[in-house]
Chains A and B, each alone.
Chain A
């Protein structure tokens, strides 16, 4: 019944609009404005241009200021602070260009509205002005490029030798995390060895794998460089850690990486924001299927001592009976492991490229 009423009301509204439209045309025909090209409506539109600029501009700046507090994720990494400065500097530059060009657009539209008896100024080109307004943006762009390029090379450059290494693997629809264990070497993994218990696909024929451990959340120490190695085992995902200004795709078949230095522990950030429930979060930022929007992982930034304690308390995969049994079965089934996956091993060594930090570095944190 209510649906019917709504439809009826909508139908009646349409009829009303239709009638208004016809009446408007008829009045226009009688008043002569139907065929006259330039009339009152020209002045109204010109005025609306000005009104739009003033009211719209004010509303924009008001809402921007109003929401400013909410739109800045807290920053918790060294390069994040530099990026933030660059972002707002660029915003100011483009903000200036925005205000000038929009103002000219609307003011000219209002000011140079049609007037009977006036003629437009025949002005086809002026090389001098054109050169100026080509060169100025070019210079501004060049300086932005230079600043961006310098920061980009630093951020994406090789991680410091003593960086703590961990690996994140994306899968539909959660994240897996592993640490290299006491030997500070991530062991070889092979996607063919994956099953329910061994969801990283650890290849235990590699000695380095035995002391690796998996974790349900990421722990990193404050003030120490962290290198995140990133993999995916099914489709594309992206590691996005907004508070650390970190983002990198997880690509099946092509390990990627990103390094950063956390500056604020979770506790410090909780105190700073006055939010005892605050957590750093890792979100998936590349469409990966049904559960894309729920692929979350918490990140804990510890004081260095706490981190070392947490690290020491973890149990290596070799103590996980299910995983070991599963590996044994899978390696027999597939013929992989036990030196059988040499190819995978070679590529894995290449992936884990630089020499990992000794435990001493970890302990001395």
Chain B
């Protein structure tokens, strides 16, 4: 009787549809597990969400190294503009001539750094890894709704990666028009050599990337809606799942718009249309294109581009909430407010895109509207920060590597988020637009923060991914070096920005107005390169621990969510027996009256009479 009641209670109180019971499939899937799989199906074309997650993670890590190398290269140029870079010739070949980095290749470096970090690392590597890994495990499902589509999602990403990677080695260089690929620069090979084959490959790669995102996103949403275990109502979902769920919805609604922009750009580039081109005289020739609008492209691009930054940051927010609660041994403060603010951010993220375009020639009236909507989004973001702080308050904090990165995330999110209040103000953006102030702002609030969320996630869920623990001491060193490094890079960068230094400049030496910060730029470059090298500590720790790390226990962090009820290395199907049912919310940490300082979600109220709250007592009878 006691086990039945919570099920009926969720159907009264639940927000979403009733979860599908799995019991009938369980035995069937269970049998499959024991079949020996060929390595090709187990490790390469796997349909197991956990293997796909690991594939996304490791591909993402490779991309992160490449993205980091590219940034180190252009920081060398910015820090030491007068230095000879002959020693880079073996790596860069003809892009170094006379000891100098080619200015067009400099633009290629910043373009590819942005593209790689935003899309390949922080979208695919972060959300792809953890949405895949955690959604089935935390909602209590055997796998994703469609394992096959999930596999396709990874392989489309892989194909996209392959094309983008190859484009780095083109003779005319990879795409060089900035990661925002504004036409006409991105449309005309006469304007910059990277807009030749490099740009074509960028667009083709991005189309496959979007396909991958949509296949993944549809799967995540379907799984969360339909495959929750018994008792797992929407109001009992861990915040991670809420974050992944909303992220997937954002992706499904916004990536197709980027697809359309890319398609129209392909038409302009190859088939003589004029969607984005008009009145152009270039390379001694007047083009026939008339009537197109470059500003239209910006609208289409940022209609994805802005939700995209929330696609990057929301999974990190979800994981950080989880890690903070687990390691502060306290319930997350304001669970419903946290969900509400995620929903608020998701909705608002669709109506703020034009704050990237205040001074692009857009009607100033639109500027007023978007300023209003943009500054409103600070409110739900603020609520999240206050709730994280309240979660730490009177906790009993355990500093695991994951916890350190989660705290670091909150710190960076505050630092970067606050300057958004300046940039969202159209008046102030007149001066700040496209300066290093913007660069500093978004590198803190969505770049570094999302990376910190990613690290927190890897350190926290590594035991479930690989059955072993990562080395904590190396984790601490990694955290402190990275945390310090990030602040040393991006805090001074604000000063450079306030002084009006434009971004995407190969050198500032030609201007009196931008001549004063040569030393500071050296400092930033040195800090950036050191912080990059500190990441190899993580990479060593990661691969070392996969093979030689200390063996994990089932639930090493004494956590409450369902993934920790699986075996140490869960097989295909996740639970060897029946999927556990869920009776309570995911944050019963340090509950008064309870024996342990955590009560897993699958423990019914009837087993915890001493700790039940008044309304829970009714559920226990």
Contact = CB atoms under 8 A, between A and B. Distances in A.
Contacts of B500: 73, 240, 242
A144 B396 contact: no
A108 B389 contact: yes
A125 B333 contact: yes
B396 A115 contact: yes
Given A242-B513, A279-B512, A98 B415 contact: yes
A251 B360 contact: yes
B359 A248 contact: yes
A112 B428 contact: no
B433 interface: yes
Contacts of A31: none
B407 A109 contact: yes
B385 to A, nearest CB: 6
Given A133-B382, A234-B191, A122 B330 contact: yes
A98 B425 contact: no
Given A120-B395, A123-B330, A252 B184 contact: yes
Contacts of A52: 483-484
Contact of B359 (A42, A109, A238, A243): A238
A238 B434 contact: yes
B434 A155 contact: no
B295 interface: yes
A273 to B, nearest CB: 10
Interface in B225-272: none
Contacts of A97: 414, 418
A86 B291 CA distance: 38
Interface stretch (A159-167, A219-227, A280-288, A310-318): A280-288
B427 A114 contact: no
B281 A125 contact: no
Nearest to B105: A290
A21 B408 CA distance: 25
Nearest to B426: A152
A64 B495 contact: yes
A254 interface: yes
B619 to A, nearest CB: 16
Give the interface size bracket for A toward B.
Answer: 35 or more
A296 to B, nearest CB: 6
A25 B419 contact: no
Nearest to B182: A236
B329 interface: yes
Interface stretch (B118-126, B134-142, B207-215, B501-509): B501-509
21 contacts: A91-B422, A97-B414, A105-B411, A112-B395, A119-B597, A120-B328, A121-B330, A141-B375, A153-B364, A194-B286, A235-B183, A238-B434, A240-B500, A246-B430, A249-B360, A252-B278, A253-B278, A254-B294, A289-B192, A292-B107, A293-B510
Interface of A: 21, 24-25, 28, 34-35, 37-38, 41-42, 44-46, 48-49, 52, 56, 60, 63-64, 67, 70-73, 83, 86-87, 90-91, 93-94, 97-98, 101-102, 104-106, 108-109, 112-115, 118-126, 129-130, 133-134, 137-138, 141, 144-145, 148-149, 151-153, 155-157, 171-172, 191-192, 194, 201, 233-236, 238, 240, 242-243, 245-249, 251-254, 256, 277-279, 281, 283-294, 296
The 3 closest A-B pairs by CB, nearest first: A253-B278, A156-B364, A242-B500
Given A94-B419, A256-B361, 10 more contacts: A42-B399, A67-B520, A112-B394, A120-B590, A123-B333, A149-B372, A172-B282, A235-B185, A242-B513, A283-B513
